[in-house]
A and B are shown apart, each in its own frame.
Chain A
Amino acid sequence: MNWLPLWITCGLITFAIRYSFIALEGHYKPPGWFVRWLPFVPIAALTALTVPELLLVAGQFNMGDNPRFWAGLVAIAVAARWRNTLLTIGAGFAALGLLRWLG
């Protein structure tokens, strides 16, 4: 059972990070730069999660021989044009399937 205290500690750390600013809201006045940075959180954080998934294969930069990169470009174009979640996912998977089939 020595895993239980470790799980709980890791869970508390994770929870504390997620609760941090939610708990602080209203109890302090955030500095101006912080308020200016906040609107970019969804774009910056989600792009930072996504781009390595498209450009790295097993940790190595790879564009040419990397169907996920090209399928990702198709998905980006579809998302920009039609702004539809399911259409974007469908186009990305279709492009990936086609590239794998051709390749």
Chain B
Amino acid sequence: MRRMTPASAFLLGVRALMPMHLGVVPFGVIYGVVALQSGIPPLAAFLMSSLVFAGSAQFLLAQLVGAGAPALLSVGAVGLINLRHALYSASVAPILHALPRRWKLLLAYLLTDEAYAAAIPHLIDNPQSPTAHWILFGAGFALWAGWQLATLAGVLLGAQLPSGLDLDFALPLTFIAIVVPMIDNRARLAAALVAGATAVLLAPLPYKTGLFAAALAGLGAGAFIGEKR
């Protein structure tokens, strides 16, 4: 186990997240543009990024509001699309167990796909480290700051980024870089294959519910084969 100061743990989280900004920043700018096109006022579009703070859910919410969908449907859709975050919550819960409540509230607010993905390899390496939560805070804060600035830019500029740059490909590539080295036994390979295949098969389901079902299928497959301890 490495000894880390809070500052070095925070910076480790920030650094782990930085490559994802290649994909997140254009996504945030496009969100700002799409929200304005849906008829949402600029201030409301920008504030959604801190009040909801969930990329794909914000796109969906902006589109539903623009289409005049009932509020209850919008709330339900946002809940469904973010359901996978419950898995991240369960995954980091043991690591955050001993922290004061203000830390748990803060880190729960910052618990996105990207922050979880960036921090989890380091959290697995340092589960007992007294500064492990600073890694998650660093990754979460870096994503939060980038997302706020990117959506602000989208709202202010209101112009499309040049398309065809493929910058959004940075996110799947970063997830590959994080996941592939974790696959070091048959159970983990089964979890990945089943989750990936199920996600493709269930992609037509509304509100990305297929993602949550696919993750559950992968968990079940991995646990069924079982890891040798």
List residues of chain A with CB under 8 Å of any chain B CB: 3-4, 6-11, 13-15, 17-26, 30, 33-34, 36-56, 59, 61, 68, 71-72, 75-76, 79-80, 83-86, 88-89, 92-93, 96-97, 100
Contact = CB atoms under 8 A, between A and B. Distances in A.
Interface in B99-131: 104-105, 107-109, 111, 113, 116-117, 120-121, 124
Given A7-B47, A9-B75, A40-B218, A48 B53 contact: no
B89 A37 contact: no
A10 B80 CA distance: 11
Nearest to B121: A42
A20 B89 contact: yes
Nearest to B54: A14
Contacts of A75: 173, 176-177
Contacts of B182: 42-43
Interface stretch (B90-98, B142-150, B155-163): B90-98
Interface stretch (B4-12, B26-34, B164-172): B164-172
Contacts of B172: 49-50, 53-54, 68, 72
29 contacts: A6-B75, A7-B48, A14-B79, A21-B90, A22-B111, A25-B93, A38-B90, A41-B219, A42-B91, A42-B116, A42-B124, A42-B179, A43-B182, A43-B195, A44-B215, A44-B216, A46-B113, A47-B218, A48-B195, A48-B199, A49-B199, A51-B195, A72-B173, A79-B177, A79-B180, A79-B181, A85-B16, A85-B178, A86-B19
Tell me if B's interface is mostly helix, strand, loop or mixed.
Answer: helix
Contacts of B151: none
Given A17-B83, A21-B90, A22-B92, A85 B177 contact: yes
Q: Which of B87, B173, B203, B217 has the most CB of A within 10 A?
A: B173
Contact of B203 (A20, A50, A52, A88): A52
Chain A contact residues: helix, strand, loop or mixed: helix
A14 B78 contact: yes
Contacts of B47: 4, 7
Given A6-B65, A22-B92, A42-B124, 12 more contacts: A19-B89, A23-B104, A24-B93, A41-B90, A42-B182, A45-B215, A50-B175, A53-B169, A76-B180, A85-B19, A93-B166, A93-B169
B78 A38 contact: no
Given A3-B41, A10-B78, A46 B117 contact: yes
Given A8-B51, A25-B96, A40-B223, A18 B180 contact: no
Contact of B180 (A20, A30, A80, A93): A80
A42 B178 contact: yes
